[in-house]
Structure formats: structure tokens, C-alpha cells
Structure 1
Amino acid sequence: MRLLFVGDVVGSPGRAALRALLPDLRARHEPDWVVVNGENAAGGLGITPPLAHEMLDDLGVDALTLGNHAYRHREMYELLDTDDRIVRPANYPKGNPGRGYTVVERDGARLAVVNLIGTVFLEAARSPFAEADAILAELRGKADHVLIDFHAEATSEKIAMGWHLDGRATACVGTHTHVPTADARVLPGGTAYVSDVGMTGARGGVIGVKREQALERFRTLMPIRFETSPDDPWLNGVLIEAGDDGLATGIEQILLPAPS
């Protein structure tokens, strides 16, 4: 099994990079599945139904994961409830719109996609560790491979989650910080891990927003409305390979500039 996971798509520059680069990535690597974090697709904050449909239906993405901006746009609430290709953090309050995991199927193969959010430096949520345990128990016998997108701020919490899941999930990939980390590896028990995949957005900004606005905020501490940067967009992702036993055999980082 070969899985392509694409990190946080940030605004129109990120969406354009995904559109431009995904066809070649499919042709070159022939992934069985493509999963994308769409957390920042709408102007850097959240996602809207048209943008979700663009990625899922026009680009053929198999599943979308989200994060702390999952509920930024109220018009998404209904789609979160009705489209099982989209997942939001599973450890958010019960009864919230959407689902925390899904199982996508093709030609008899079943991939579970799970979304969790961290609790360090982010809004309070149920323990992602306990939630992961509960979901894995529910998935027993229902999926051949399990991908977990852990949307979290603290590297320590992400690494701890990787060890917590080792041998029980195909992959645990970190998202949220928009900066790719240099620790992609297969853990001893067979779980592919990376602390942060990075973003699909403008590297010439500050985590995807215009650098002059970010600098003004840091220099003055005054509130400012951030806009996505158009400068130097890249696609950040990982390619994960796994065997029939559901465990990973390899993980490779993908860091590609969008064509100018």
C-alpha cells in the first residue's frame, strides 16, 4: 500500500500548488490513496464547502483532515455531517458536527483516516491518547491500514503520540505548525512517524501569511488581519509505504516548489 499525505493547504497559493503538483505526484509515485489536510484552505483559516468539493471531487483526493479551524465557517457544518470523506478532530466534544474518523474503500482495500487534536498550547479537548485507544478498538477488523493525522502544537506531545501508537497504526503524521520536521522514520513497531509534515503554501511568508504583516504583529503586538502570502509556494507531504499486515515499511518526505 502506498499513501500520499499532503500537509496543511494554506489559502489560494496552497490550493494552486496542490492543483499543479498532484497530477505529477500521482504519475510518479502511483499512490493508492491521497489524503490532504485542508485546515487552512480558505484564506488560511478553515475550509468552505466549495473548496472541499474542489479537492475531493475535482482533484480526486480520497479524504480531508482538519484541525483547530474545523468550525471556522458555519456553512461547513452540514457538509461535515453528510460527507464521510471529511474528518475533524475526534476528541472534540461529542455531538459536534462531523466525525473524527472514516474508512474509505477501493477495490476491497480499506483505509481508516483518523483526526486528533493536541491539548498542549491549544484549546481544551478530550485526551487524544485515550481517544486514539477508543478509536483503534472500534476499528478492529474494519480497516486494513490506519492513518492518524495528529494536529498539535507541541513536538513533545506529537512524539509521545507516535510512541503511543507504535505497532497499532500504519502512520501517525503531525500537522498544524506548517514547518516540516526532519524526523520522518518508521518506529520499531512499524508505525511511520513525522512530527510535522509541513504546509502546502507560501514559503516566502511566515507560516503561510504575508511576512510584513507577521513582522508588524511581532514588532508592535497590535492586532492585525493576516492575509495569505503568494511568495514561493511549496507542497509539503509524505509518501508512506506499508505491507499487507497494516504496518509501514517506509516514509519519504516530499518538499516541492510549485511551478512558477
Structure 2
Amino acid sequence: MKLAFFGDVVGRSGRDGLTEFLPGLKRRLQLDFVVVNAENAAAGFGITEATANELFDAGADCLTLGNHSWDQKEALTYIVREPRLIRPLNYPPLSHAPGRGAQLFDTPSGRRVLVVNLLGRVYMDPLDDPFAAVDRELESAPLGAVADAIIVDMHAEVSSEKMAMGHWCDGRASLVVGTHTHVPTADAQILPGGTAYQTDAGACADYDSVIGNQKDEPLRRFTTKISGGRYKPAEGPATVCGVFVETDDRTGLARRIEPIRVGGRLAPHVPVLDRIEA
């Protein structure tokens, strides 16, 4: 299978970038399934039905979330109605969090893709153990038996926790990819057990910014320690950042992983889709 995952969509710029580039990427790469992290899609904070529909219309098959899942209150009810929207799996049972943290999808070709969304606990508002939570999902829908491909979005602050999750799932998932820090890392690789991995997919955002936000307010807070208002998404052309993965049809493990960076400021400075194979 040919899969793509795109990092955090930040505001209108990120949505417009995906609308512009994703249809062409789907044709060029012959993608079977596309996952997009959309927790910052609505004005930089959370998701709404309208913003989600823009991303679905652009070609996303599934949207994952993160620590901003409920910033837009309508998401609490919308997620119950929309099975393609996935929030972090590892909410405590007593939280009664709406929606689902993992979902098994059927593709038009008849193959099945499991998507799992996890939230890290280091320097984040800690939820339950993401390692135990992902174990339960991988055991209930094993790769190569129930699922033809498995994508794990590890939404976390620190690289070490994301890397640990990659190795924890190695051999049991097609792709483990980090989100949240909005900066694409240069470590796309296939782990020893056959799982594709990248510490952070980056963001679909204007990179003339501070992690997708207009520069003035972050600079004010860093230099004065005084807030002057809310962060606002930067509004220039987006660089669309993500990863492309090709899996073995028999095992579901990765044969190839390559970074995707198109449009905006970053793309001219890096090779696009340099070939990395097992």
C-alpha cells in the first residue's frame, strides 16, 4: 500500500496548502490512504466541522487530533458523528471522552488501515499510559492479519518519547510518526523490525512564523514575559510537510519512507521525496 501522513495543519494557511497540493500528490504518488493531523486547523486551535470538511474534500481519509482536541467546543459533539475524526486513545476511562482513539478503515481496494492517535505525557497534560493503550489496539487488530497497514500518530512534546514509541511498535505497525512540535525532523527511517518512523512530520503551515503562529506575540512573550493577546496563525503560503510510506502487501511493514515538503518556504531548500528503502 501507499500511504501518506501530513503534520499539524495550522489555520487557514495550512488548510489552503493541503487543498492546493494534496489532490496532485494523491495522483502522483498513487496514494491508497491519507491521514492528516488537524488539531490546529480551526484558527490555530482545535477543529470544527467546517474546517474538517475542507480537509476531507482535499483528500484526507482520516483526521487525527492532539492536546487541542476540544478547543472548539463543537468538536465534542462532531466527533461522535464523524468516524473519520480520531482523538488521542489514552484518555482515562473515567473521563468519558467522546469519540474514538483508534479506527479501522476500509479502503476502496478492500484493504484495511488501522489509525491510532496517542498523546505523550512528558511536558504535556498527562493522560493514561500511551504504551499500554497502543498495545491493546495492536493486539486486537494485528498487522498482516486484521489490518493491512497500521499508522500511529504520537502527538508528543519530546523527541525521546516519540522515539521510544517508534521502537515499542517496531514490527507491529507500518508507520509511527510524531506530531505537535511543527518542525519536520531529518530522521525518516525504517526501524530494524520494519516500521517506518519519523520523529516529527512537521506542519502544514506558513513557516515565516514561530511554529505556524504570527511572530509578534511569541516574540513579545519570550522577551518580556507579558502576554499581549492570543496566538494567531501566520497567513502566508504554507509549506505542506509529511511523510510517504510504501508497505509490503504481505506483511504490512514498510518498504520505503520519504519526507514530503511542497510549497512555501521550506520546499525549495530540501530534496522532495528522496528515495529511502529497506
> Which residue in 2 is equivalent to 1:228?
233
Deviation (angstroms), 1:73: 1.3
CA distance in 1, matches of 2:13, 2:59: 19
> Residues 148-206 of structure 1, C-alpha deviation per residue, up to 9 Å, x if partnerless?
00000010001111111100111100000000001000001000000000000010000
Within-5 A mapping of 1:112-131: 112-131=114-133
Within-5 A mapping of 1:2-151: 2-56=2-56, 58-94=57-93, 95-106=96-107, 107-140=109-142, 141-151=145-155
Conserved 8 A contact 2:207-2:264: no
Count of residues paired in the alignment: 258
CA distance in 2, matches of 1:168, 1:37: 21
> Residues 112-144 of structure 1, C-alpha deviation per residue, up to 9 Å, x if partnerless?
010001000000111111111111112134311
CA distance in 1, matches of 2:203, 2:59: 19
- Relative to structure 1, is the Cα distance of residues 240 and 128 closer, same or farther in structure 2, using a 3 angstrom cutoff? same
Name segments (4+ residues, structure 1) moved above 6 Å: none
CA distance in 2, matches of 1:81, 1:225: 29
Deviation (angstroms), 1:53: 1.8
CA distance in 2, matches of 1:11, 1:103: 28
CA distance in 2, matches of 1:139, 1:83: 21
Instruction: Give the percent of matched residue pairs that are identical in Structure 1 and Structure 2.
Output: 46
> Which residue in 1 is equivalent to 2:257?
251
Match of 1:167 among 157, 163, 171: 171
Deviation (angstroms), 1:91: 0.3
Tell me which amino acid in the other structure corresponds to 1:243.
Answer: D
CA distance in 2, matches of 1:226, 1:85: 28
> Which residue in 1 is equivalent to 2:160?
156
Tell me which amino acid in the other structure corresponds to 2:75.
Answer: M
Question: Which deviates the most, 233-242 or 219-228?
Answer: 219-228
TM-score, structure 2 normalization = 0.90
Conserved 8 A contact 1:204-1:233: no
Structure 2: 5+ residue runs without aligned partners?
Answer: 266-278
Deviation (angstroms), 1:231: 3.0
CA distance in 2, matches of 1:60, 1:199: 17
CA distance in 2, matches of 1:256, 1:176: 19
> Residues 52-111 of structure 1, C-alpha deviation per residue, up to 9 Å, x if partnerless?
12212x223110000001111111112211211110000012221110001110221000
CA distance in 1, matches of 2:204, 2:54: 16
Conserved 8 A contact 2:23-2:59: no
TM-score, structure 1 normalization = 0.96
- Relative to structure 1, is the Cα distance of residues 256 and 60 closer, same or farther in structure 2, using a 3 angstrom cutoff? closer
Question: Which deviates the most, 90-99 or 186-195?
Answer: 90-99
Structure 1: 5+ residue runs without aligned partners?
Answer: none
CA distance in 2, matches of 1:160, 1:4: 22
CA distance in 2, matches of 1:203, 1:215: 15
Could you say what the CA RMSD is over the residues aligned between the two structures, in angstroms?
1.2
- Relative to structure 1, is the Cα distance of residues 258 and 20 closer, same or farther in structure 2, using a 3 angstrom cutoff? farther
CA distance in 2, matches of 1:258, 1:113: 28
